[in-house]
Structure 1
Amino acid sequence: MNIGIVGLGLIGSSLALKLAEIYNDINIYGEDISKSNLNYAIENTIIDNRLEEKHYSELNILFLAIPVDQILDISVNILDKTNNKTLVVDLGSTKKPICDLIKDNINRSRFLAAHPIAGTEFSGPITADNNLFNNKTIILCETEKTDNKLLIIAKELFLSMEMHIKEMNADEHDKHIAYVSHLSHITSFMLGRTVMDKEKNEETIYDLAGSGFESTVRLGKSSPSMWAPIFQQNKKNIIEALDEYIKNIKNFKDLIETDNLLEMSKEMKEINAIKNILKGIK
């Protein structure tokens, strides 16, 4: 099996490690806009060879593990240059923009929109983890538009990675992800912003911040070059989610201001039910 990976950050490099662990007869080609990322991946045998255009005809699957704005920039060209046996899989966090872009492309059947619900706040191949995808969900969108034989190959690969497959349309994906992923990143960034604005002394933050603060702002360490384009592409759904979130924040602020302890406790008790929803998440 010949695999190509464009983007050797956390997701791309972790994918390379996992596939190399699973398959004995595999050649992994990789490319990254960062020379240091590419060199690190080669020197540490995360990939076998640098991916060049001359290799496209040899690939079974070509993964796009790059920021979503870059996926839009290169996907059509990639589809044009790969052969009719190569499946191109994008791994971005937004789906409607890329699905709309290639909906009428002559090679649409060789494209699969996928989103692995896996990751950390860290980036780069140095953070690669071959267990990153274990027991995680991968969302596949508009699978009815992907060639069935190629789709089966992709699904078998994801299952071999110990992933759970969920299918939905692109609109549904982007709406759900705005609430359960994109909003939490914005919350983390803005909590970090608020504390940094009010606490000018960095030592005070370091000395007084507990584990609760650290876990809440963890995502605030995520890559801006990856997340800013996500927020832009999923703007409509994110603004809707923010409106709901801000309304809830304001309501809770009102309860504090009016010393409404009974309603405050009731509100928090109702929210405690989230622990049952998240019970199965490791």
Structure 2
Amino acid sequence: MGRGISRILILGGGLLGTSFALAVHRACPDAVIECVEQSPEHRAKLTQYAAIAQVYSDVTDVDSQFDLAVLAASPDVCISYLQSIARHASIVLDVCSVKRAICEAADDLCLRSQFVPSHPMAGKAIEGPSAADGELFRDRPWIFLEDWAPPATVLALIERIGARVTMIPSAEAHDGMVACVSHGIHVTSLAAMLTSEEKRRQTFPSLVEVSGPAFWDITRLASSPAAFWADTLLQNRENVIPYLQTLREQIANFEEAMRNQDRDCLVDLLNKSKIARETWESSRP
């Protein structure tokens, strides 16, 4: 593994934390990985993984030192445990999908030389260690911040588990970008689910029987854990709200074209969307 990293402590034995443990164990079988997880159900599952040497119920139970600690819980939980976890590790890496608040907390705690903010663009709409996958990060972007320069040992480890190191300028840039490609998309998925559910209840009781791939694809994220996403969306609300405002404007454009039976306008909107998608596809790494 990355030189100097042989002992790892993970705070949070959910999907991301457990997947990281499995990915590191696959790539670096000699690594010692321990985990802190409050949920008894999750702890029971974690003990079944050979990748995890020990599972604690609370940070106060930890009495060892580690080369790396990984914060893999909701943003608020990670911030609340940042100082206590930092006492047990040379480097503290977080995987939260909102960066500004935790970077500010690390600055306030004078942890800039120790803390490494990051965000793997990977996940599932299922929570918990049972959904963990050691291949979850393969070929996925793992974001780091240029103004919080990550140590070479951390970058080497992330590359070794198969992720693509991706640098962006700052926490502010990160939070604005993920509002567009993750958080706003999440709300869009949930809104589509609630709209279809309302139509099912009011008008079409058997709607689920005729639902095809488009419905299931766009509503997949509705299965995500509510408490986790509530915390995430509230922390990044300053960026998500403008995205949703722009989304409403785009939906209104389609609505107006159909209301006015303006086929030319509708075709124009559809073609612009198609071209945009093709541009994004051609730019994918």
- TM above 0.5: yes
1:143-186 CA-to-partner distances (Å, cap 9, x unmatched) read: 5445x6xx111101001011111122000000010011111100
Residues 1:69 and 2:71 aligned together: no
Residues 1:96 and 2:100 aligned together: yes
**Superposed, which structure 2 residues align to 1:146-185 within 5 Å?**
151-168=151-168, 169-185=170-186
Residues 156 and 278 of structure 1: CA distance in aligned 2, closer, same or farther (over 3 Å) = same
1:45-79 CA-to-partner distances (Å, cap 9, x unmatched) read: 34111145464642111101101121122112322
- Secondary structure at 1:245 match in 2: helix
| Matching residue within 134, 140, 148 for 1:136 | 140
Match of 1:208 in 2: 210
Match of 2:38 in 1: 33
CA distance in 2, matches of 1:56, 1:160: 28
| Matching residue within 210, 220, 223 for 1:221 | 223
Match of 1:23 in 2: 28
Unaligned runs of 5+ in 2: 1-5
1:195-247 CA-to-partner distances (Å, cap 9, x unmatched) read: 11221189613201111000000011111111111110001111111111111
Match of 1:278 in 2: 281
- Conservation of the 8 A alpha-carbon contact between 2:117 and 2:148: no
- Conservation of the 8 A alpha-carbon contact between 2:46 and 2:55: no
Superposed CA RMSD in Å reads: 1.9
Residues 203 and 61 of structure 1: CA distance in aligned 2, closer, same or farther (over 3 Å) = farther
Q: One-letter code of the match for 2:167?
A: E
Unaligned runs of 5+ in 1: none
Q: One-letter code of the match for 1:34?
A: S
Equivalent residue pairs, number: 275
CA distance in 1, matches of 2:148, 2:201: 53
Residues 55 and 77 of structure 1: CA distance in aligned 2, closer, same or farther (over 3 Å) = closer
CA distance in 1, matches of 2:227, 2:284: 28
Residues 1:82 and 2:74 aligned together: no
Q: One-letter code of the match for 1:47?
A: I
1:70-119 CA-to-partner distances (Å, cap 9, x unmatched) read: 1122112322x225xx2111100000011112213233211011000001
Residues 1:199 and 2:205 aligned together: no
- Conservation of the 8 A alpha-carbon contact between 2:258 and 2:266: yes
Residues 38 and 11 of structure 1: CA distance in aligned 2, closer, same or farther (over 3 Å) = same
Task: Quote the sequence identity (%).
Answer: 24
CA distance in 2, matches of 1:239, 1:8: 30
Residues 99 and 124 of structure 1: CA distance in aligned 2, closer, same or farther (over 3 Å) = same
Q: One-letter code of the match for 2:123?
A: G
Deviation of 1:44 after TM superposition, in Å, equals 3.3
CA distance in 1, matches of 2:80, 2:61: 20
- Secondary structure at 1:8 match in 2: coil
Q: One-letter code of the match for 1:254?
A: E
Residues 270 and 12 of structure 1: CA distance in aligned 2, closer, same or farther (over 3 Å) = same
CA distance in 2, matches of 1:264, 1:225: 38
CA distance in 1, matches of 2:110, 2:188: 40
- Conservation of the 8 A alpha-carbon contact between 2:13 and 2:36: yes
